[in-house]
Chains A and B, each alone.
Chain A
């Protein structure tokens, strides 16, 4: 075979949904039916680091989803300032009275200095909100990136040129600065700047702004892949049989692109978690009464010289999550794309 293979990653003939399903939840039974997805799942199961990090990542998502339930069982919520009813919890300088940030059997992770909220439930909800925003932004970015990238690659010509230039420009934008500069712009479209911005609008704007500046890299990658696939025989065959462009894109091209799409989005999610937290830390994203990873670290920063314990919980939780997700991303890539080099 001397066909120019665009990427070793691209499985040749795949029936559409099988890949998606089997990479996420495929069941391996013996060796019959060796679809690429099954093979990838088998490779992934053998990778111990990958499985462990997948468990950690799933753990974070589960506690995020189950946060209200856990908080109910634990009997506290992240908004009540417990110290206002029980002044003995904080000392004269409004720092936790007990040792280690006031950790006790009642307040597992201690009490927040000054306001006296419960750290454990605050962190639970912080994980819930941060992961929710990052996951939504990842999905939106991926969908936009895939649609634009595949369209540009498939249509070629002027569309491709135009999209290519837009991507070039987007990639030379200083991204953090633009996130900061455009958050107020998005709010400004919906509310009067003198009014308080509702949290739901902040979350919506965050997701939109992250996606608006994030789609370019995945679109560029997919465009390149499609350029290679477009000339292949099976696409030509589909064209000859009179398939519509929509059908060719969704039924012929897209199934061959799942590997790069999954790899890219697993890389994107931890990056969005840290970007979102960074914005909240700077005071541009989600703001204080709403629990969030970045809000928590930002709160911790105001009194870290006196009480570092409060900051350690969100900080370490984030390091563990991002590390596990990065390892998971590497393992997913190894499983789906065994020929690629690190």
Chain B
């Protein structure tokens, strides 16, 4: 297990390095000068030079990349703009703030959104899939299957507005989406995020219903399930301890992928519900060609995906002892 983790973490670091290098290099293909934007209108050539120097963009690209990498471990100074201490992901051209601080400000919203939605869609998706598998061919199965088909064809930029229109503006059942830190007021936090959770869940549930149904149907027809029933174990016991355990693997896999993607920034969701999370931060940064911010968010998103892949593989081995980690 230990060797597996070390090896996978090293692999993850390599992937993140490559992703950051690719982003860094590709962004310089845009002939847009960040120093001009940071310097403002009445900019003299001397001032421009100074700004370039402060932002550290007066070096060749590989050197800049090296400074950026070094900054993560030892921090770096941005002249008049101030210092940026040890885990320094760079200094935003547009916001004039260290990147890491801004991302950390936005992260609680994105995490709340991701984990809240995950709880809802896991419960509903897996629950509906279990019922559908137990009642194969009956009306419950048909309802669950059709609902999941419809759900997988819906898009958040349509359903989100429809839900807001009817549930918030017409009927007033739910609150307009907003974010209050959970430490300030758990009730406001909950009611402000309830609608985004539900809408995200509608879209994600479908996949889990389909997957858990097909997995359970397969497991329930296995010989070992029949043997366990024949031995006299109760139905619920067989279902939960045998069949469900066997069915969990693929569900854990897609759950890890989905969670990683959501934490990396649900850009469209955050735009629809006007929530200022990491996804919106990324979109704004791209529109302003704010390379350090784009790099920071990209690294966070890719990091979330890579880390959750490793977690999934480790959890897989815990669920299914036949899988050896190597």
Contact = CB atoms under 8 A, between A and B. Distances in A.
A169 B18 contact: yes
A177 B309 contact: no
Contacts of B286: 180-181, 184, 284
Interface in A274-306: 274, 277-278, 281-284, 294, 297-298, 300-301, 304-305
A320 B96 CA distance: 46
Interface string B240-270: 0000000000000000000001001101100
A3 B97 CA distance: 63
A172 interface: yes
Interface in B146-164: 149-150, 152-155, 157-158, 161-162, 164
Contacts of A182: 26
Interface residues of B, number: 48
A189 B29 CA distance: 6
Contacts of B149: 323, 326-327
A315 B150 CA distance: 13
Given A180-B286, A193-B32, A342 B214 contact: yes
A46 interface: no
B185 to A, nearest CB: 26
Contact of A172 (B15, B150, B279): B15
Contacts of B210: 342
Nearest to A294: B157
A298 to B, nearest CB: 8
A334 to B, nearest CB: 14
Contact of A173 (B32, B152, B268, B302): B302
A193 B289 CA distance: 11
Contacts of B32: 188, 193
A127 to B, nearest CB: 15
A333 to B, nearest CB: 13
B114 interface: no
Interface string B1-45: 000000000000001001100010011011110000000000000
Contact-residue size bin, chain A (C-beta under 8 Å from the other chain):
35 or more
A174 interface: yes
A86 interface: no
26 contacts: A172-B15, A172-B19, A172-B302, A172-B306, A174-B298, A176-B267, A177-B279, A180-B283, A180-B286, A181-B23, A181-B282, A188-B29, A189-B29, A301-B272, A305-B165, A311-B158, A311-B162, A315-B161, A315-B162, A319-B155, A319-B158, A323-B149, A323-B150, A326-B152, A341-B218, A342-B214
Given A172-B19, A174-B265, A308-B165, 18 more contacts: A172-B306, A172-B309, A173-B302, A174-B304, A174-B305, A177-B264, A177-B282, A180-B267, A180-B282, A185-B29, A185-B30, A188-B32, A193-B32, A315-B161, A315-B162, A319-B150, A319-B155, A323-B149
Interface of A: 168-169, 172-174, 176-178, 180-182, 184-185, 188-189, 192-193, 270, 274, 277-278, 281-284, 294, 297-298, 300-301, 304-305, 308, 311-312, 315, 318-319, 322-323, 326-327, 341-342
User: What 8 pairs between A and B have smallest CB-CB spacing?
Assistant: A174-B301, A188-B30, A315-B158, A323-B153, A322-B153, A174-B264, A193-B32, A281-B157
Interface of B: 15, 18-19, 23, 26-27, 29-32, 149-150, 152-155, 157-158, 161-162, 164-165, 169, 210, 214, 218, 261, 264-265, 267-268, 271-272, 279, 282-283, 286-287, 289, 294, 297-298, 301-302, 304-306, 309
